[in-house]
Amino acid sequence: MACQALDRLQQTIVACCRCPRLVQYRQEVAARKVRRFRHLPYWGKPVPGFGDAAARLLVVGLAPAAHGGNRTGRTFTGDQSGDWLFAALYAAGFANQPTSRHRDDGLRLHDCYITQVVRCAPPGNKPLRQEIANCFPYLVQEWQRLPRVQVIVPLGRIAFDACLRLCRHLGLDLPRPLPRFAHGRLYALAGGRYSLLPSYHPSRQNTQTGRLTRPMLEAVFATARALLAGR
């Protein structure tokens, strides 16, 4: 039932046209393409979450990359950020392979579901506040269809803030003082029922400057694995 409910939600997300600026941009990118992908079709639509409907780990990213998820139709697929993320998930046993090139490459997630704050590629990778708000109900609905989630890993500050907003919306108790974004810092939510474990986003801005290293990212998901093993 959970899988069917997620499938229906994903279909709704793919048909979404709530944000005119994002609709125009994602379609323009899909029509123009870039030279290295000019021979490939582009998805050019909202990108739904994907993964295990029985997942205990929820990973929340920012938005599809213009020539990554917006091209392939699967979040974190076909770009450098995905290379880092799936390698780390694979190392922790949450994925069956360390790379993700296209939707039919055989990638499977185990005990993990990946979604994003905004479902369409935004110009400059910077969604507007209203666009984030427009997509927020989808994050709520995904949560409601993932009843086994225990550990949440937001990738970056915007995803972290969206997760805190989600907790408030659901009436979950937050610790005092309120959690602040810090890579690898663990927070207990709802009296310890959930764990919030933020990470820097594996964007080029972070990985090429050394702000985020592969061991740092792998450590986050190793911690998530240990948390789940202890429950």
Q: Residue 3: pLDDT above 90?
A: no
Q: Domain residues of the chain, as ranges?
A: 2-229
State how far the Cα of 156 lies from the Cα of 201, in Å rounded to an integer: 5
pLDDT band at 16 (very low <50, low <70, confident <90, very high): very high
User: If you average pLDDT over residues 169-175, what whole number do you get?
Assistant: 91
State how far the Cα of 38 lies from the Cα of 151, in Å rounded to an integer: 39
pTM for the model: 0.96
Q: Residue 47: pLDDT above 60?
A: yes
Count CB atoms within 10 A of the CB of residue 43: 21
pLDDT of residue 1: 57
Report the candidate in 49, 51, 29 with the shortest Cα–Cα distance to residue 40. Answer: 29
Tens of pLDDT, residues 174-213: 988 999 999 999 999 998 999 999 999 999 999 999 999 9
CA distances for 111 relative to 9, 18, 127, 146, 201, angstroms: 19, 31, 29, 11, 21
The CATH superfamily label for domain 2-229 reads Uracil-DNA glycosylase-like domain (3.40.470.10)
Are the CB atoms for 128 and 28 separated by under 8 Å?
Answer: no
Where are the extended beta strands (E) located within the chain? 50-51, 57-61, 112-116, 151-154, 187-189, 194-196
pLDDT band at 231 (very low <50, low <70, confident <90, very high): low
Tens of pLDDT, residues 71-124: 999 999 999 999 999 999 999 999 999 999 999 999 999 999 999 999 999 999
Report the chain's terminal Cα–Cα distance, integer Å. 24
What average pLDDT is seen over the chain?
96
State how far the Cα of 19 lies from the Cα of 48, in Å rounded to an integer: 15
